[in-house]
Amino acid sequence: MSADGPRIVETFPHKVRQIEHQWIEMPDGVRLSARIWLPEGAGTGPVPAILEYIPYRKRDSTRPSDDRRHGYWAGHGFACIRLDIRGTGESEGLITDEYPKSEQDDAVAAIAWIAEQPWCNGNVGMTGISWGGFNGLQVAARRPPALKAIITHCSTDDRYADDVHWMGGCLLLDGFFWGSGFYQRMARPPDKALDAQGWRARWLERLEHWEPPASHIWMRHQRRDDYWRHGSVCENYADIECAVYAVGGWEDGYSNAVPRLLANLSCPAKGLVGPWGHKYPEVGMPGPAIGFLQEALRWWDHWLKGEANGIMDEPAYTVWMQDFVVPDACLADVPGRWVAEEAWPSANVSTRSYAINNNALGGESEPEGVLRHSSPQTLGVASGNWCPYGLGGSSPDLAIDQREDDGRSLCIDTQPLDAPIEILGAPVARLRMAVDQPQGILAVRLMDVAPDGTSRRISFGLLNLTHREDHENTRPMVPGEMTEVAVQLNDLAHRAVPGHRLRLALSTTYWPMAWPGPAPVELTLETGTSTLDLPLRDPDNGPDAPTFGPPEMAGTAISVIEPDHSARTVERDLATGRWVTRLVEDSGRYHIEDIGLDVVNGMTAEFMIDEDDPLSAEAVWQWHSLRHRDDWHVEVDSTTRVRATATDWLIDTDVEARDGDEVVFARNWREKVPRDGV
């Protein structure tokens, strides 16, 4: 991506007509609101359609991205539909949770409606990022006849083991970031300009319907149960028969799903993972961004128009093989190159086992020994966010130099490498270990350490030790008893060069990414019997990687009134041992020219913990949103606060909604949920 960003395309093969607000009626009579882009002539020469189906308010919140992507595809001959899920944006009905069956039912009905329109040739694709990537997979598993292909970005096939809520059975704080933000987004009103008489009644119905907010619901399901199995397509990959293009980023929280889908789907499938966070590839950060809208056109042309353009003759799995770079919370670019594998798993990747010895990682296994370690509760300050959403060069979401966390962890290094190695896949730490408590967490990090000591985290994994056998039936640890534990780290693609060392770091805390156990834990690691398994790629084999053009997209009519602002600071009280991490994610204020609307969205958060007391942990998220047009001014403020005792979670949520100066709704929830092995 150039310094000026993607190229804005102004002239397309087809002129585009927009329908700002189109009702699509569901079988139960509820109407969903769609925004539609139609290429000129679609009414007389029907074209394929592309559906994006999410709850994030097509009329204001996602409008800039919608314009750029759907305007681009429509300009190349596709009908594009952005549909608000029921109970969100301008759609009727109610929503209280993510991915209910009714959401899938509505999508199936909407796809049938789209396929029957005079401007559609009967072939439909589905795309989206995050929520839209999730439900693309979920709807594909329902097999609506008109759905021929999907592109799923930054999503998962496993809602428990590989989503924002839990990682290795550990509670992720990003789950409450998302849960508090989800509630705040769903509490916003329909636009008065489209429903002058009924908007306020519909808004109040939404606000009064919540019982309780979704983040409270999620904490009632701390193990993998039927709640999480629903919507997890890994329960039966064979349900998906249409073509799947899975896309992710190495800095994103969802990159593991891409190779897992390729390994398990029986339908036509491709996978792409770049260096990006939770972003579309055409605006990917860290860079390089790529011209993915052009790549997507090739996919849609093949699967929705039947064009033999060679896209399915190319390698199934393409990834950005990263080189070492000095870590930075706002890292702009990652050096490296595109590499490809014909299939995944690949015969070009083999496992090498590195012995964990007392003083070195690798070499021959030495006689058994032990290493002991107990982490301070503040370890993890260098971790960054589990899922970097903001990025863009301004949000400090990424992991920084790991030396501070390394110095507080149990670390084992290789000797300096004498030849380059390429790691592609998921490392596994196989540890023989004991702890002195019945429960606790284990964080395992893998670093590339430069000769000057700079430490870049290239992968990590978390494990709730009561989940060491599975995520359905917890089993407490027996204090002092040696146990064999396997921790799978995140998939990665990384090239380490001569003179650098690999470092394995173990810790018993990882705040504020994961919530700590109820008591400090001392780890005893048996060396000589523990190993690190690395998937190593042969760089001399494998096909040529595809090439991608520069990013380009359609334009959007948005003007910035106040610029966005993001910050991450850490405060340490040397007298009390209390650390406070503060986040700011402020989108500023922008004006949507087409509909004359000002939009404000913002969040601040604080994560607090004492050096030696896991029960001192506390996290607070505060959200604010505003919509303003002439005589219409509405605001929503909400706060979520989480604490824990040794036995219970304490979850508080407050919301206040205002129409002008009038408070039209205010409510709070105070909930205590028993800890279940977490």
Domain boundaries, the chain: 16-159+243-341, 165-229+558-593+596-678, 349-537
Which of 434, 608, 615 is CA-nearest to residue 516? 615
Per DSSP, helices labelled H in 56-99 are 63-75
- Amino acid 38: pLDDT: 98
- Amino acid 392: pLDDT: 41
The β-bridge relationship of strands 369-373 and 317-322 is unpaired
d(CA 192, CA 452) in angstroms, rounded, equals 59
Q: Tell me how far CA of residue 152 lies from CA of 65, 192, 262, 280, 314, in angstroms.
A: 16, 33, 13, 10, 19
Q: Tell me how far CA of residue 508 lies from CA of 373, 592, 614, in angstroms.
A: 8, 48, 11
d(CA 293, CA 541) in angstroms, rounded, equals 29
Q: Which residues of 177-201 are buried (b: 16+ CB within 10 A; e: fewer)?
A: bbbbbbbbbbbbbbbbbebeeebbe
DSSP 324: P
- Amino acid 145: pLDDT: 98
Q: Tell me how far CA of residue 222 lies from CA of 107, 168, 466, 543, 559, in angstroms.
A: 29, 11, 12, 43, 43
Structure tokens at 567: 């910050």
d(CA 536, CA 351) in angstroms, rounded, equals 6
DSSP 29: S
- Amino acid 143: pLDDT: 98
Q: Hey, is 372 helix, strand or coil? A: strand
> Residues 563-568: contacts with CB within 8 Å, 24+ apart?
563/588, 564/392, 564/394, 564/588, 565/394, 566/390, 566/394, 566/395, 566/396, 567/396, 568/329, 568/395, 568/396, 568/397
DSSP 237: G
Tokens 């590989």 -> residue: 162
492 Rama sector, left if φ>0, alpha if ψ -120 to 50, beta otherwise: beta
- Amino acid 394: pLDDT: 59
Q: Which CATH class is domain 16-159+243-341?
A: alpha beta
d(CA 104, CA 139) in angstroms, rounded, equals 6
Relative orientation angle of helices 63-75 and 292-305, to the nearest 10 degrees: 50
d(CA 535, CA 539) in angstroms, rounded, equals 13
d(CA 133, CA 112) in angstroms, rounded, equals 20
Q: Are the folds of 16-159+243-341 and 349-537 the same? A: no
Which parts of the chain register pLDDT below 70? 1-4, 390-394
CB 51 within 8 A of CB 36: no
The domain made up of 349-537 is a member of CATH 2.60.120.260: yes
Residue type, 116: E
Residue type, 664: V
d(CA 157, CA 118) in angstroms, rounded, equals 34
Question: What are the E-state strand segments in 7-157?
Answer: 7-8, 16-25, 31-39, 47-54, 79-84, 120-129, 147-153
Cβ burial, residue 632 (10 Å; 0-12/13-18/19+): middle
CB 95 within 8 A of CB 52: no
DSSP-assigned states of every residue in 595-629? TTEEEEEEEEEEEEEETTEEEEEEEEEEEEEEEEE
600 Rama sector, left if φ>0, alpha if ψ -120 to 50, beta otherwise: beta
The whole model's pTM is what? 0.97
Cβ burial, residue 596 (10 Å; 0-12/13-18/19+): exposed
Summarised one tens digit per residue, pLDDT across range 220-270 is 999 999 999 999 999 999 999 999 999 999 999 999 999 999 999 999 999
- Amino acid 44: pLDDT: 86
